[in-house]
Structure 1
């Protein structure tokens, strides 16, 4: 008998899988003796918000010891279905062609909140030796 996982449990398991894939790719890159390279991706309007997001991504990458690719990728407005977002699609292609090892975004909602779509994406990228990474979540303020 098949039991469907609760969405929160599935989301947590997908996050564990994402981290495992990222760690495996990072280990492979380390064996080659070079730092990880990431392509920045933001889902933000042109202007100050986009610049701020790209700055946060660059700062996080530097903290991690990662190199940020000179090309950045973005989509504006409300998130379209994943396959209709040219910026994200190009970021993934760029990495799959070997110009980066992963795609670094602010948070998972910038990619997709749909677990089925996300699971397929993680698998497709991993098969191309590409990982997804996000900035660490800020701690919730205490009352």
Structure 2
């Protein structure tokens, strides 16, 4: 099973992520700039990495996001996110002003640990960087601007 298909227990942090993302993307759009994102994939193989990055590119195009020409990935088993060279490089790339945000398949590509996830979100937001995920159902990309996607950890009914 792919790491981004791992279920995530509802912890309310999806609201925090979306709020951060909307604050940043709305400010970028108000300034007349196009939102630019760096693609990030956590994959178990090179084939999976290429497929994930292609899916991210398709989503970015449909959402009207500008995808950076540099992509980032980590392959193999997932060490803690702070130790992943690909994710750290994506964060550094965005901090240096080459992207406004990081676009990944789903939250489990970052972490399923709520404490770590909150630290990642806070760190990114403090550096004016957002984290975005693809919608669960890509068959309908009608309104897929950042903040409008279906959360990967929807609250249970």
TM-score (normalizing by structure 2): 0.79
Q: Deviation at 1:20? A: 0.6
Partner of 2:145: none
Which residues of 2 match residues 1-143 of structure 1 at below 5 A?
A: 8-10=9-11, 13-138=12-137
Q: Structure 1: how far apart are the matches of 2:73 and 2:58?
A: 17
Q: Structure 2: how far apart are the matches of 1:101 and 1:50?
A: 22
Q: Structure 2: how far apart are the matches of 1:113 and 1:45?
A: 17
Residue pair 2:93, 2:99 contacting (<8 A) in 1 also: yes
Q: Deviation at 1:8? A: 4.0
Q: Structure 2: how far apart are the matches of 1:106 and 1:137?
A: 9
Residue pair 2:45, 2:76 contacting (<8 A) in 1 also: no
Contiguous gaps of at least 5 residues in structure 1: 1-6
Contiguous gaps of at least 5 residues in structure 2: 1-7, 139-157
How many matched pairs? 131
Q: Structure 1: how far apart are the matches of 2:64 and 2:137?
A: 20
Partner of 1:4: none
Q: What SS does the corresponding residue of 2:79 show, helix, strand or coil?
A: coil
Q: Deviation at 1:49? A: 1.4
Q: Structure 1: how far apart are the matches of 2:78 and 2:66?
A: 27
Partner of 2:147: none
Q: CA RMSD in A?
A: 1.5
Q: Structure 2: how far apart are the matches of 1:9 and 1:29?
A: 29
Please state which structure has a larger fraction of its residues in helix. 1
Greater Cα radius of gyration, structure 1 or 2: 1
